Amino acid sequence: MFRRIWTIFKRDLKVNAKDAISLYILIIPILFAILINVFSPGINDTTINLALLTGDNESKIEYFEKFSKVELFNTEDEIKERVEKRDAIIGIIPEKETDYLLIQGNEPQEIVDYAKLLKSFYELNINIKDSNSTLIEFNRTVPPLKKTLVNISILFISILGGMLIALNIVEEKVDHTLSAINVTPTSRVTFLLGKSIMGIILSVFGSVALIGITGFGGINILQLLLVVLITSLLSILVGFIQGLINTDIIGAAGSIKLLFLPLIAGVLAIEMLGDKWQKYFYWNPFYWAYKGNDLILSQIGTWRQILTYSIFILGLCAIVYVLLAPRIRKGLE
């Protein structure tokens, strides 16, 4: 049995190594990690943007750069043109012995207030050392946006695992080798296990590579692997179904994309909706996977919490399997 599983896996590996779409899917986790590192802000970055003149007071520019992101321009017209762009940025332009703030009018009020306070603090020569406040922190050093992007990417990679399985099955149908399993000693269970390996490998090693490159190497890797493996079951099931009912690669890949809808729904429910709406998303396995991954990436998840979420995901995948199993058996006949 294991030798036949290994033979099926080696065949898929050779096919994927020659197929451009499969190769692209295999390197996507690395691309995700690079893009997240490039574009996500660090924990110390600020979202307050200020526009100042290049020839303005150097000490003022240095002061503002400590508490905001400063862009320098040569003329007031350049600052005006920059302020009128789509994002929120406030111009601070010198006028006689003081400055005036230049805004579009649609900036969030808290950003405008922050700019006013920053200007006042500079004029009063107030620094951080002058504060009498006591800082108490929870020692959480993970940037929230970066954690969210990594979490979504892990779920996305699990779907790509299912897509890879669908592509491999479609390739078997194109080569007219799928029906051959019925006249060989290879059982359907052996065939399914062999075909699942590529999807599982992509999910596991893609997720591990992602967290390693993005700097989450200190998390509990066993907890992450547990959630990733169980979440991959859903993608694998859908991958088999789409591979069996589609006759071309584009159709199979397009059908797998439907899984992105429950993925996004689960993320938006947790990030944007209140507690009273959460119960309407309990049916979504990506909802529980996102909650579990969030605890793991924050390094505050206990084994009891992770196991509880994993059981919910496993139960939902079992329901999906009961619904899809007859179609999988029929597709292999």
Higher-confidence residue of 333 and 95: namely 95
Give CA–CA dist 140/213, Å, rounded. 19
Strand order in the sheet with 98-102: 69-73, 49-53, 90-95, 98-102
Residue 42 in this model has a pLDDT that exceeds 60? no
Least Cα distance to 60 among 98, 109, 90 occurs for 98
CA dihedral of residues 259, 261, 265, 266 (deg, nearest 10): 10
For the segment 88-104, the average pLDDT, to the nearest whole number, is: 86
Structure tokens belonging to residue 178: 């799928």
**Average pLDDT across the chain, whole number:** 81
Other C-beta atoms within 10 Å of 44: how many? 7
In this prediction, residue 166 carries a pLDDT of 79
| pLDDT at residue 27 in the model | 82
Count CB-CB contacts under 10 A for residue 73: 19
Angstrom distance (rounded) from CA 330 to CA 275 = 42
Q: Indicate the pLDDT class of residue 183, thresholds 50, 70 and 90.
A: low
Question: Residue 291: what pLDDT?
Answer: 92
Confidence of residue 292 (pLDDT cuts 50, 70, 90): very high
Reported as a single tens digit per residue, the pLDDT across 296-330 is: 988 888 899 999 999 999 898 888 888 877 777 77
33: pLDDT strictly greater than 70: yes
Measured CA to CA, the distance from residue 251 to residue 158 in angstroms comes to 19
Q: Which residues contact 79 (CB under 8 A, 6 or more apart)?
A: 51, 52, 53, 73, 91, 93, 102
Q: Within 10 A of 97 (CB to CB), how many other CB atoms are there?
A: 5
Task: Give 24's pLDDT tier (boundaries 50, 70, 90).
Answer: confident
> What pLDDT was estimated at residue 287?
92
**Per-position b or e across 284-312, b if 16+ CB within 10 A of its CB:** bbbbbbbbbbbbbbeeebeeeebeebbeb
Write out the H or E segment, with its range, that includes residue 92: strand 90-95
Query: Which amino acid appears at position 314 of this protein?
Result: L
